[in-house]
Amino acid sequence: MSRAVKSGVGRFVALSGRGIDKIDGDFSPGMVAAEQAVRDSGVEWTIIRPNNFNQNFDEDLWHQPLADGRLALPMDATPEPFIDAQDIADVAATLLTEDGHHGQVYELSGRHALTFAEAVTTIAKAAGRSIRYVELTPEEYRAELLAEGYSTADATTLNAMFAGMRAGYLAEPTDAVRRLLGRDPIDFDNYAARAAAAGAWS
């Protein structure tokens, strides 16, 4: 950070996570440190805290389970307004190139909140195949993660994230994307249709 400032960088946009100020400290202390680093940088800064990405379903955490036909998580019917990575990128570009956002923290979400069961149903319909959502207890989830080769630390971090999600810290949609971009966020149905057409869950 200091090297960037010394080289002439005068504005930072830090990507953090929604609920980071409320979720148990076991969840991504690196995000907390990154937020503090930009606050202490001495130059202009803005922090964006998005919900879970749509792309977690086709590129990252939940891709392989969905491709295998079963997504099992310690998540109940508390909804999540998943956000598309394109919306996050567009917001970040706006904040980097537009004045007036110094010292602001923006919580970014999709337009509508869905339960994980609803999200999986949407994905299964778009993919044209059967995919199940299974609700696990935190203990069952931890056991499955460890059996899949995740570290104990990763299992603890992910369970902390889901505990915060079950508490509703990420459940309410925000209007930040519309305010910053002048348009609605990308709809989850549209995301699922595009990803399925690209063969994400075939």
Q: What is the pTM of this model?
A: 0.94
Rounded to 10 deg, the angle between the 138-147 and 152-166 helix axes is 150
Beta-bridge mates of residue 11: 44
Q: Which segments of the chain have a pLDDT < 70?
A: 25-26
Closest CA to 119 of 21, 166, 53, 50: 53
| 83-135 per-position pLDDT tens digit | 999 999 999 999 999 999 999 999 999 999 999 999 999 999 999 999 999 99
Closest CA to 195 of 142, 92, 125, 114: 125
Q: What pLDDT is recorded for position 60?
A: 85
Positions of E strands within 104-158: 104-108, 132-135
| Structural domains of the chain sorted by starting position, each given as residue range(s) with its CATH number in brackets | 2-197 (3.40.50.720)
Closest CA to 111 of 152, 74, 81: 81
Q: What pLDDT is recorded for position 25?
A: 67
Q: What is the spatial distance between Cα 54 and Cα 50, in angstroms, rounded to a whole number?
A: 11
For the beta carbon of residue 152, count every other beta carbon within 10 angstroms.
10
Q: What is the spatial distance between Cα 24 and Cα 160, in angstroms, rounded to a whole number?
A: 6
Using CA atoms, how far residue 13 sits from 34, 99, 104, in Å, is 10, 12, 10
Q: What pLDDT is recorded for position 29?
A: 78
For the beta carbon of residue 113, count every other beta carbon within 10 angstroms.
18
Q: What pLDDT is recorded for position 114?
A: 98
Closest CA to 49 of 60, 59, 38: 38
